[in-house]
Amino acid sequence: MSHTSSQPAPATFAPSGPLTGTVRVPGDKSISHRSLMLSALAVGESRVTGLLEGEDVMSTAAAMRAMGAVIIPPDGGGLSPDAGIGGGHAGQGGAGPDRLWTIHGVGVGGLLQPQTALDMGNSGTSTRLLMGLVASHAITATFIGDASLSKRPMGRVIDPLSLMGATFSPAPGGRLPLTMSGIVPAVPLSYRLPVASAQVKSAILLAGLNTPGITEVIEPVPTRDHSERMLRGFGADLSVEVEADGTRIIRLMGEAELKPQTIDVPGDPSSAAFPVVAALITPGSEVRVTNVGMNPTRAGIFNVLVAMGADLTFENEREVGGEPVADIVARHSVLTGIDVPPEVAPSMIDEYPIFFVAAAMAQGVTHAHGLDELRVKESDRLAIMAGGLARLGVHLDEREDAISITGSGGEPLAGGNGEVMIHAELDHRIAMSFAIAGLNTRGGLTIDDMSPVATSFPTFQAMLRDLAG
Ligand code: S3P
């Protein structure tokens, strides 16, 4: 399942003129994971279109199959719970909005003991959310992952799930490989999130589905609310109270019964950010990205870019699958440096790498604060972005949880004949961010390995080729 099993795929990115055209980005990764998990827990047949057929979501599909769900890809694949889905590059050829996935769930409380370790590949979301599901089932599961995932902290979910009664044997430092045993009945919990993390929130709520009584998550800083929206959509009894200071209190009544749904997954704003920023910083460009999820808990990047002077228009605003959606038109713009405060971070947490590229091309200085979480993503994104941009001649100041970037004022960045080599560190968003930067260097840069891009955006390079026309 993991791209580490494939050969590294180096690629050079160099200026290629204006980017023009219309693109549709793959389905939202967060919503795709949740649609498979909740469908796998509903009694009956759910139908999902627009699913992101990237490696991370396929890790979730394989794990849910290993625990008893029947997940049938658009091109068949048999009804057996462990039907294969095409190995390490599943879905790269067939992504598309009309592809129908069919899921037969086992019912809340019905997950089966997996017979082998659950391979999470590169996916932190799969790992943390599935740990929540296992926590309130009487099963023991072992989670393994690639080198990047095996460095990421799991203590943030181990702590609350332990309070609910689950037991854990992680590798040192609370990391993968990790074996855990769930418990029935689990103990309902009221938990105040110590980190702004939708993954931690979702893990607790998913554990709460099969826990008698009310499971409560107190969220001082709002994070993406796809779990809440979708749990409600599947018929769970879930309420959200917002206090005067913005704190959200989410209450879920267990033991829940989920009803099968038909879900259309909107395009991923985190993926849309790449063609949008590419158009903004590449002279002469105009790009339309259709069907982009505009959930306010995810749209921070677009608001910040507009505040920097970006020529973005949001058209055809509508609702898809219980989520706001729009088409975004991005035109080359003169961007001006900005101060991005910490409270914005959760709504653009995955977009900072490409945002730093936009800042590197702006006029003046951009400051961004509250970035400690960037250090524990698929890589230490603050360090890797700062290091790579510095090698492209960008003046910046990296601090523990902040960065200041002095933009080039629209001048191309350094780099030349592809001889600047960027190491993507198994991080899809680092690879894609430097690919876009490469289009705005003097002579190009080389990325050591583009294969991680298959985790979230398998069609990324094809999209760039189309836009460069
Ligand atoms: C995600 C939440 C975010 C994000 C990740 C996906 C989710 O992580 O970075 O890519 O689907 O819940 P945190 O909640 O840990 O910040």
Residue 295 lies in a domain: yes
pLDDT value at residue 81: 38
Do 177 and 274 fall within a single domain?
no
pLDDT value at residue 75: 84
Q: Which helix (H) or strand (E) holds 390?
A: helix 381-391
Residue 202 Cβ < 6 Å to ligand 1: yes
Distance from the alpha carbon of residue 298 to the mean position of ligand 1, in angstroms: 10
pLDDT value at residue 460: 98
Q: What is the mean pLDDT of residues 328-340?
A: 98
Domain count along the chain: 2
Q: Is the pLDDT of residue 1 over 70?
A: no
Give catalytic residue positions: 350
Question: End of a domain among 201, 233, 257?
Answer: 257
Do 159 and 212 fall within a single domain?
yes
As to burial, measured by CB atoms within 10 angstroms (0-12 exposed, 13-18 middle, 19+ buried), residue 469 is exposed
Q: What is the mean pLDDT of residues 294-316?
A: 98
Residue 198 Cβ < 6 Å to ligand 1: yes
Mutation test residue for ligand 1: of 59, 199, 297, 351, the one with most atoms within 8 Å of CB: 199
Residue 158 lies in a domain: yes
Do 181 and 290 fall within a single domain?
no
SS3 for 37? helix
Q: How confident is the model at residue 306 (pLDDT cuts 50, 70, 90)?
A: very high
**Domain range enclosing 77:** 29-257
Residue 376 lies in a domain: yes
Residue 224 Cβ < 6 Å to ligand 1: yes
Contact call for residues 326 and 248 (beta carbons, < 8 A): no
pLDDT value at residue 89: 32
Do 334 and 447 fall within a single domain?
yes
- The CATH number of the domain holding residue 307 is 3.65.10.10
Do 62 and 144 fall within a single domain?
yes
pLDDT value at residue 77: 61
Do 13 and 43 fall within a single domain?
no
Q: What is the mean pLDDT of residues 162-186?
A: 98
DSSP string, 234-271: TT--EEEEE-TTS-EEEEEEESP-PPP-EEEPPBPHHH
Pairing of the two strands 311-320 and 100-106: unpaired
Residue 199 Cβ < 6 Å to ligand 1: yes
Contact call for residues 450 and 461 (beta carbons, < 8 A): yes
Average pLDDT score over the chain: 94
Question: End of a domain among 195, 230, 257?
Answer: 257
List the beta bridge partners of residue 101.
Answer: 48
Do 356 and 331 fall within a single domain?
yes
**Residue with CA closest to ligand 1 atom 16:** 197
Question: End of a domain among 231, 257, 283?
Answer: 257
Q: Is the pLDDT of residue 415 over 90?
A: no
Residue 197 Cβ < 6 Å to ligand 1: yes
Mutation test residue for ligand 1: of 122, 156, 197, the one with most atoms within 8 Å of CB: 197
Residue range 17-72, pLDDT digits in tens: 999 999 999 999 999 999 999 999 999 999 999 999 999 999 999 999 999 999 99
Q: Is the pLDDT of residue 84 over 50?
A: no
Distance from the alpha carbon of residue 125 to the mean position of ligand 1, in angstroms: 6
CA distances from 224 to 198, 247, 323, 349 (A): 6, 14, 12, 10
Residue 151 lies in a domain: yes
Residue range 359-380, pLDDT digits in tens: 999 999 999 999 999 999 999 9
